[in-house]
Structure 1
Amino acid sequence: MMSASNNGIWEGTWEYCLGYWEGFQETLSDLDIDYWRWVLWVIYPIILSFLLPIFILLFLYCSAFFLHLYNYRHNFREAYNHDVWDGARTAIAAAWDAQGRIWHGFEIDGLEKIPDKGAALIVYYHGTLPIDFYYLAARCLLEKKRHIRAVGDNFLFHIPGLRRFLEVFRVTPGTLQSCVSVLNDGHLLAIAPGGVREALFGDENYPILWGKRQGFAKAAIQANVPIIPVFTQNVREAFRTPKVTRACLRRLYEKTRLPLVPIYGFFPVKFKMFIGDPIYPKKDQTSESLSNEVMNSVGTLIYQHQRLPGNILFALIDRLV
């Protein structure tokens, strides 16, 4: 049975709710309906003037996206007839390619330097988010019929829901032996030596934060394959990390390896990818020497093709000129 104290609590709560409802009714009765109708009539054209262009732009974007996918319908049919995962990869590649062309005006200068056959190691500068690499992988799959394997950071494999995606696109943590094995099998392999550190703690001056990482050079030497340097213009203007607390977050990252840095942006800046000349390991060349050679090549691409420091407004203007 309910005690007398509980009864008192329920009665008090009910009386409070009734009083609140009566007050709300009085507020409604005091509203000047004609006044608010007039306010709505005044702002209605303003609302429409902003919303309708946005809806029309969204509709045009979706239409262009659909037509881009439809353009590759024959590729879908051929890929799905061969293997269901090949079909899935082709469909996702077409979607990423459409995204890159429409949103970033994505172009590639030097795609022919990526071989149509045989192994090669692609080394690229890591933007805040590596969507430029996704666009490259999509373009290679659609135009060269070549699937670029990739090395991903360990934390990716602990994100719920990503495992199937990583398996289908053959993204691995990338030990030295696994990288050599992929290259010996004649595949393309992509690595961003800067990794998460370069992604989250770089800035608009485009510093190369590779540290002493030489594993990619050791893999290229052991497999005796060329290294192809890659850089994308304005890649750091699409997404940014706030400068506030960056130093503290970097110290936290160095201790925990957790990428706890907020990201903002997705600005529709111009993307143009530049693919450098292949660098072939020389006889008896050390991994340190080869790593420095590749780093200098990527630095040269940045110096030649990137406005320094990077500027979001100018990168947006690049879409128009």
Structure 2
Amino acid sequence: MSGNQSCLTGAEDTLSVLVCLFHAWEEWAGLDQEDYLSVLEYLLWVFTPLAIVFIVPFLIVIFLYLSILFLHVYKRKNQLKEAYCNNLWDGARKTLATLWDGHGAIWHGYEVHGMEKIPDEGPALIVYYHGAIPVDYYYFLAHVIIQKGRTCHSVADHFLFKIPGFKLLLEVFSVIHGPQEECVRALKNGHLLAISPGGVREALFSDETYPLLWGERKGFAQVAIDSRAPVIPMFTQNVREGFRSLGTLRFFRWVYDRFRLPIAPVYGGFPVKFRTFLGDPIPYDPNINAAELAQKVWM
């Protein structure tokens, strides 16, 4: 110990002090070179799985950007056809739908139960639970395109439109901000429309017990009433076992409530089985109001 004291006494700068402190800790812990290797091996064994579960969700983001890159290539290759074809993007949508469907089948064994409840034509409002990453919804969209030959319009949070490079992807797949008037217009024009009343809040702050974080929101129900469209509830089993969020930590909730920044880290990407269940359509009923319809969908 006297050696370390003299070392600290002779230290003339911060670096020297840190080196002396390190040697003091080394002497106190009784570690040699072999011990260091054992400790490093142990830390690598412990932290590698943790690193993987935080890295895998970024693969979904990479897949999204690859989809966007494909759309840009597709657009450039077919730009001369745009003036003569009303369905320029049909081929691109079907191609990407096939890729996403394959991803869902391989990684999550994705299944949809009740696909026959989605009408072959005419409007319907699909209300779904929002996972930490709504990858199950992406798979569902792929199924609708492949099996029904239809494009389902989607309502997304405003922050999604601010992500660099996403503009073309959102346009091709008919993603909208979600003012009620625009939602009603889409349904009255005979389109399918999907919305998650819980939105980003549900994605970040819900957990493996699957609470619905809708609050007092009933705008989606008013949209269904105004457009006289049926409502189809949708839920995906195990979506929270596939991807989870650290939003349950108080700090991330405070940041979102204060600044509306969805920065809670997401981890997972586990290859668990995803099953999407579609409930029986709730038909338009002129005798119930928005609050009653929202409660009916909740149940």
SS of 2:126's equivalent in the other structure is strand
- Contact 1:153 1:196 (C-alpha < 8 Å) held by counterparts: yes
- Contact 2:127 2:194 (C-alpha < 8 Å) held by counterparts: yes
Q: Work out whether 1:227 is the aligned partner of 2:231.
A: yes
In structure 1, the residue matched to 2:250 is 247
1:282-293 equivalences under 5 Å are 282-293=285-296
Cα deviations by residue, 1:95-114 (Å, 9 ceiling, x for unpaired): 11000111100011100001
Whole-Å separation in 2 of the counterparts to 1:187 and 1:82: 17
For residue 279 of structure 2, the aligned residue among 252, 270, 276 is 276
Q: Work out whether 1:124 is the aligned partner of 2:128.
A: yes
In structure 1, the residue matched to 2:50 is none
For residue 204 of structure 2, the aligned residue among 200, 204, 209 is 200
> Residue 121 of structure 1: CA displacement?
0.2
Cα deviations by residue, 1:131-159 (Å, 9 ceiling, x for unpaired): 11111110110111011010000000001
Whole-Å separation in 1 of the counterparts to 2:187 and 2:286: 18
> Residue 162 of structure 1: CA displacement?
0.4
For residue 185 of structure 2, the aligned residue among 181, 184, 196 is 181
Q: Work out whether 1:144 is the aligned partner of 2:144.
A: no
**CA RMSD between the two structures:** 1.6
- Contact 2:244 2:266 (C-alpha < 8 Å) held by counterparts: yes
> Residue 281 of structure 1: CA displacement?
3.0
Whole-Å separation in 1 of the counterparts to 2:255 and 2:238: 28
**Runs of 4 or more consecutive aligned structure 1 residues displaced over 4 Å after TM superposition:** none
Letter in 2 for 1:102: I
1:76-87 equivalences under 5 Å are 83-87=87-91
> Residue 202 of structure 1: CA displacement?
0.5
Q: Work out whether 1:263 is the aligned partner of 2:266.
A: yes
Q: Work out whether 1:211 is the aligned partner of 2:205.
A: no
1:86-125 equivalences under 5 Å are 86-125=90-129
> Residue 252 of structure 1: CA displacement?
1.5
Whole-Å separation in 1 of the counterparts to 2:227 and 2:167: 28
> Residue 83 of structure 1: CA displacement?
3.2
Percent of pairs identical after alignment?
A: 53
Q: How many residues align?
A: 217
- State the structure with more CA Rg: 1
In structure 2, the residue matched to 1:238 is 242
TM-score by length of 2: 0.70
Q: State the structure with bigger RCO (CA 8 A, min sep 6), 1 or 2.
A: 2
SS of 1:84's equivalent in the other structure is coil
> Residue 284 of structure 1: CA displacement?
2.9
> Residue 82 of structure 1: CA displacement?
7.0
* Change beyond 3 A, Cα 1:82–1:98: farther
In structure 2, the residue matched to 1:316 is none
Cα deviations by residue, 1:191-216 (Å, 9 ceiling, x for unpaired): 00000000010111110100111111
TM-score by length of 1: 0.66
Whole-Å separation in 1 of the counterparts to 2:245 and 2:155: 23
- Contact 2:204 2:246 (C-alpha < 8 Å) held by counterparts: no
In structure 2, the residue matched to 1:295 is 298
> Residue 251 of structure 1: CA displacement?
1.8
- Contact 2:187 2:227 (C-alpha < 8 Å) held by counterparts: yes
Cα deviations by residue, 1:118-140 (Å, 9 ceiling, x for unpaired): 10000001011111111111011
- Contact 1:281 1:290 (C-alpha < 8 Å) held by counterparts: no
Whole-Å separation in 2 of the counterparts to 1:159 and 1:82: 28
